[in-house]
Structure 1
């Protein structure tokens, strides 16, 4: 894969494959740990989330990119393709949800997250997808705002377990 953006020296970028599900999940677990999520809660869902990533990669509903420094995978990000009804902002029926943006601590500050996200935004544009959403950590917010993301009116409700 040839990225649309310039990579920092010493890094390469490639498309994630179903065999990369374990790496993607490990990055996701590390991302949640960095965000201060309770380790036991992250560990409790990791195996189930791994199965989800593997399945979504296989059916093409999740598309990821992975950044290498030599043979080591040091960063990654993904898109979840979502079927969505048209609204006054777009007639497009596919939307993208950006997730799993992660850079190992020793590789941060070099613009890798920006390259990952910009690469995925280019893929969205090539598919005609013009609405991309995400949930941003405090650390990630400046990157996303710099790429043009803005806060929206979306809200969330987490139902207590056993309510349904």
Structure 2
């Protein structure tokens, strides 16, 4: 049986390692860089404290079957955003699932499902009324089996800006 545990600030380095593996699996490109150090610092800070909006669940790796390993096997992270309540979202709380990744050594064992289910359970306990995510084609069947469906919003726009660069 897979038993996820809550991610802790001291897991930050491993969460970033898994994040890098996730990006590699998505497009086949390895992208080391400063972002890793910045992401580790942000994860450590954002996982700390009782009011942390970054929530994560992890599965510890194992060596020789059951002995704990110094690495994580899998993770699922999520963020809680609090917006103004609305008729459709009375709590105003919206969750976003991201950084769902399983180390290649542990794939195919249900780790992504276990960590994502734990995350969704925590969201529900905190009154999160809606949960969004972006899925790769390979992950769509998992998310559909957990109840996710296509967004009802016909148009989604993103704006990406480099820090310090504003409109002309």
TM range (shorter): 0.7 to 0.9
Whichever of the two has the greater Rg, that structure is 2
Which of 60, 66, 76 is residue 58 of structure 2 equivalent to? 66
Cα separation, 1, equivalents of 2:37 and 2:127: 33
SS at match of 1:145: helix
Q: Which runs of 4+ in 1 moved over 3 A?
A: 159-163
Q: Deviations over 1:48-99 (max 9, x none)?
A: 1111111111141211111123313201111212111223311112221111
Counterpart of 1:57?
47
1:45 to 35, 40, 43: 35
Task: Quote how far apart the aligned CAs of 1:159 are.
Answer: 3.9
Q: Distance in 2 between matches of 1:110 and 1:155?
A: 35
| 2:108 equivalent to 1:118 | no
TM-score in terms of structure 1 length: 0.83
Residues 158 and 123 of structure 1: CA distance in aligned 2, closer, same or farther (over 3 Å)? same
Residues 1:161 and 1:134: Cα distance change in structure 2 (over 3 Å): same
Q: TM-score, normalised by structure 2?
A: 0.81
- Count residues in correspondence: 154
Unaligned runs of 5+ in 2: none
Task: Choose 150-159 or 111-120, whichever is displaced more.
Answer: 150-159
